[in-house]
Homo-oligomer: A and B are copies of this chain.
Amino acid sequence: MHEFDIIKKYFSKLSLNNKNSLSLNDDVFFDKSNKLVISVDTYVDKSHFFNFENPDLIIKKILRSSISDLICKGVKPKYYFISGSGNKKTFKKSNLKKISQALKQEQKKFGIHISGGDTVFSNKLSFTIISIGFSSNIVFRNKAKFNDDIYVTGSLGDSYMGLQILKKKLFLKKDLKKYFLKKYYLPELHSSLTKKLFNFANTSIDISDGLFADLDKLINRQKLSYKIFISNIPISKNLKKIILLKKLKKVNFVSKGDDYQILFTASKKKSRIIKRTFNSLGIKISKIGNISSGAQKSQIIDEKGNKIAIKNRGHFHSF
């Protein structure tokens, strides 16, 4: 059973009297009257991260994944809590030192503050991170409009390539290896964009599960569909190079998740202000498709103009 199904079937009805929970169908909790925005995520070893030999990098990755939920909604993160479950080995002194140092660096980089947490003993390593921000508004899910353009920031797929290297499924030269591993461990978040999203985005989400999976989630309560052109999906020069060199398929890299880029839709009228905004911030932006009516199914169009089916639409945590 998908985690989405579990939440939908057993817990959504509990939140009927609490409109702030967005019926448990958004990435954040938003209490407008208290201007409170909260994201809660649990990260489990082997499922959400690998190789705790680099605890500093893992901690940075999952902390960024958590605050990304706020940033993509137009909210500046302010506080975070971290609750770790692990054993003597994972929480040995040298690891704790590295984790502490990593958190210190992230605090400075993103202007966030540790606010509490918990450490408990478990042979299974996991972390729950809670990120908190204050805002009188957020960019919601399920607010796409018919004919909206679909945009994505940055490049997709680099993180997944990093994961393949980490899992030793692919071997690259040292500099390329370093490039992709960095993309895997240290997603670049677009903090400078945060408040500006309200100027043009109708709806938004960050890409954690995979482009198509997150597009599905973005409009899951709307009678709309999307049309995406594979050729318009932005990938890095390095990824392009490897795909050519190893005769891989672009489509197999762009919806694997862990990108933490921002996916949003906007009216066509906003295209000029979007261009201007991203130019001035120095952030790459790509128009990858548009929102269509719900009368048709969502379409993914390959480089030759053919409709294609994607089997694995992204990463789900299945039970």
Contact = CB atoms under 8 A, between A and B. Distances in A.
Interface of A: 1, 3, 6-7, 9-11, 13-15, 17-18, 20-21, 24, 28-29, 31, 34-36, 38, 40-44, 47-48, 79, 81, 83, 85, 87-88, 91, 96-97, 99-100, 103-104, 107, 113-124, 126, 128, 130, 132, 134, 317-319
Contacts of A3: 118-120
**Interface of chain A, helix or strand or loop or mixed?**
mixed
Contacts of A48: 120
B79 A120 contact: no
A11 B100 contact: yes
A156 B18 CA distance: 35
A47 B117 contact: no
Contacts of A103: 11, 14
**Assembly of this chain: how many copies?**
2
A18 B111 CA distance: 11
Given A18-B115, A29-B115, A81-B29, A121 B10 contact: no
Given A10-B96, A100-B11, A47 B115 contact: no
A17 B114 CA distance: 9
Given A29-B81, A318-B121, A114 B35 contact: no
22 contacts: A1-B91, A3-B119, A6-B96, A7-B117, A7-B119, A11-B100, A14-B103, A14-B107, A15-B115, A20-B115, A21-B79, A21-B114, A21-B116, A36-B36, A38-B81, A38-B132, A41-B83, A42-B118, A47-B120, A120-B317, A121-B318, A123-B124
A29 B317 CA distance: 31
A32 to B, nearest CB: 13
